[in-house]
Homo-oligomer: A and B are copies of this chain.
Amino acid sequence: MAIASTKTKVRAKPVARKASPKIVSKNIVVESILTTPLAQQKVELVERKGIGHPDSISDGVAEAVSMALCKMYLERFGEILHHNTDQNEVVGGQSSPKFNGGEVLEPIHILLSGRAITQVDGERLPYSTVAINATKEYMKRFPNLDVYRHITVDCLIGKGSLDLIKNFEALKDQCRTDGYGNHCLLANDTSFGCSYAPYSETELVCLESEKYVNGEMKKKLPETGEDVKVMCSRKDGKINMTIACAMVGRHISDGDHYKSVVEEMKERVLDHATKYTDYDISLDINHADNPSTGNYYLTVTGLSAENGDDGSVGRGNRMNGLITPYRPMSMEASAGKNPLTHVGKMYNILANWMANDIVKKSNGNVLEANVRILSQIGRPISDPETCSVQLFMAPGADFNKWHKEAYAITDDWLDNIGKVTEKVVKGQVTVF
């Protein structure tokens, strides 16, 4: 993006800790807005792509690779070096699923791309083997997938574009204080993140149902795969939940068995979902099945990626695990982005933490909070171009009081943005 020397200078030692001056104005704007509360709106739509959905696999692999690179950089150099691994592609394989068996004909191909620092002061780094290994380790979470036989992984990760690196380097001497970075790093792009709180009941039902299916329920129903997509539409007081769930052929003997698995799953999921809501719930599983034509949603591995379904990073769930067209969303792909420098990723996470804190600490006075944060390239990430906080107040609540509280919470999180990096690297934040 700029005329720059091709020498990639990367410091191998963390710089000394310096006092970070408190930034006074952070362009925080807190306002009260009117809205029909979501629960009173007649319709609500919520979607969650489960961990085995091709887009979620892409996200999961992207994030696992970034975390593994962070770990390698930290171990060797005491700090996180430049990388973005948010461009992989899960290319669907070919399979021949059958009751009582089936086989994978062509493996799922995972093509890692993106950019990373591959050499420091003449020492070449094992970025490629680290990335490939992280991918294989991540894929081990799918119990019916044989990582040795059912996937191929290729790594085309290249060196980052040079001006970004240069920019990043220049910034480091100004204000970095520890391996996880601190509040006065400068933004390397102009982008935004956003989130909201709290979850609506419909959202909780959607989110928790998938977690249940791919968590606790698996022990009871190993016949179900991990490629689970949950769609909830609430109309007035009723939630229609539609689940597409890949079934695993070798655990299912025939159509009757399949039918009984679907029925048991339906019962269990409904039981679980009702813990999160008072709405009536109807549930439809694998709607396209048709026993008369022999059409079942059957797989070998529990993943539709085995048979032609491709996945990409950033096209699935937002950072809070959901796709919510009635809520603020960012287009930014968070998975795989550098957790030290990528403002889009960091602001998405931070906005979520802010909104949740504001609502939680308000004791019911703030019913809904929306947070949106915009960076400007070259400006400290703790001092965004705009930090917009919108509060929907409970009837009778004192906006002036809670305005101050929200401002303080927001201000404090911006001062502590380094926590985002820390928690991501430690694996304490999910981003999809």
Chain B residues with CB under 8 A of A328: 325-326
Contact of A192 among B45, B97, B149 (CB under 8 A): B45
Chain B residues with CB under 8 A of A318: 331
A89 B89 Cβ-Cβ under 8 A: yes
Q: A121 CA to B162 CA in the complex, in Å?
A: 16
B3 A298 Cβ-Cβ under 8 A: yes
Chain B residues with CB under 8 A of A377: 242, 244, 287-288
A270 on the B face (CB < 8 A): no
Given contacts A1-B307, A160-B308, whether A94 and B132 have CB atoms under 8 Å apart is no
The residue in chain B whose Cβ has the minimal distance to the Cβ of A289 is B2
Interface of A is mostly: mixed
A132 B107 Cβ-Cβ under 8 A: yes
Given contacts A45-B372, A124-B94, A129-B104, whether A235 and B29 have CB atoms under 8 Å apart is yes
Chain B residues with CB under 8 A of A113: 89, 91, 310
Q: A167 CA to B125 CA in the complex, in Å?
A: 23
Chain A residues 178-223 with CB under 8 Å of chain B are 190-192, 194
Chain B residues with CB under 8 A of A89: 87, 89, 111, 113
Chain B residues with CB under 8 A of A260: none
* Interface residue range, chain A: 35 or more
* Stretch from A10-18, A31-39, A408-416 contacting the other chain: A31-39
A397 on the B face (CB < 8 A): no
A235 B45 Cβ-Cβ under 8 A: no
A294 B43 Cβ-Cβ under 8 A: no
Chain B residues with CB under 8 A of A308: 115, 158-162
Contact of A309 among B152, B155, B161 (CB under 8 A): B161
A233 B163 Cβ-Cβ under 8 A: no
A1 B127 Cβ-Cβ under 8 A: no
A430 on the B face (CB < 8 A): no
Chain B residues with CB under 8 A of A126: 96, 103-106
A2 B296 Cβ-Cβ under 8 A: yes
CB distance from A44 to the nearest CB of B (A): 8
Q: A331 CA to B311 CA in the complex, in Å?
A: 13
CB distance from A386 to the nearest CB of B (A): 5
Q: A241 CA to B7 CA in the complex, in Å?
A: 33
A167 B129 Cβ-Cβ under 8 A: no
A123 on the B face (CB < 8 A): yes
Given contacts A89-B87, A295-B166, A309-B161, whether A386 and B156 have CB atoms under 8 Å apart is no
CB distance from A150 to the nearest CB of B (A): 7
B1 A299 Cβ-Cβ under 8 A: yes
Chain A, residues 294-335, CB within 8 Å of chain B (1/0): the string is 111111000010011110111110100001011011110100
Given contacts A29-B42, A119-B6, whether A288 and B35 have CB atoms under 8 Å apart is no
Chain B residues with CB under 8 A of A174: none
Given contacts A43-B388, A163-B295, A329-B329, whether A114 and B1 have CB atoms under 8 Å apart is no
Q: A293 CA to B358 CA in the complex, in Å?
A: 43
Q: A161 CA to B97 CA in the complex, in Å?
A: 13
The residue in chain B whose Cβ has the minimal distance to the Cβ of A34 is B36
A385 B233 Cβ-Cβ under 8 A: yes
- Mark A residues whose CB is within 8 Å of B: 1-7, 27, 29, 31, 33-36, 41-43, 45, 47, 87, 89, 91-94, 96-99, 103-107, 109, 111, 113-115, 118-119, 122-129, 132-133, 136, 148-150, 152-156, 158-163, 166-167, 170, 190-192, 194, 229, 231, 233, 235, 240, 242, 244, 246, 284, 287-289, 293-299, 304, 307-310, 312-316, 318, 323, 325-326, 328-331, 333, 372, 374, 376-378, 385-386, 388, 390
26 A-B residue pairings within 8 Å (CB atoms): A1-B309, A2-B288, A2-B296, A2-B298, A4-B295, A29-B43, A31-B43, A34-B34, A35-B35, A43-B386, A43-B388, A91-B156, A92-B158, A103-B126, A104-B129, A129-B149, A132-B149, A136-B148, A158-B308, A163-B288, A167-B288, A190-B242, A192-B325, A233-B385, A312-B314, A316-B331
The 4 A-B pairs of least Cβ separation, nearest first, read A161-B308, A43-B388, A106-B128, A33-B36
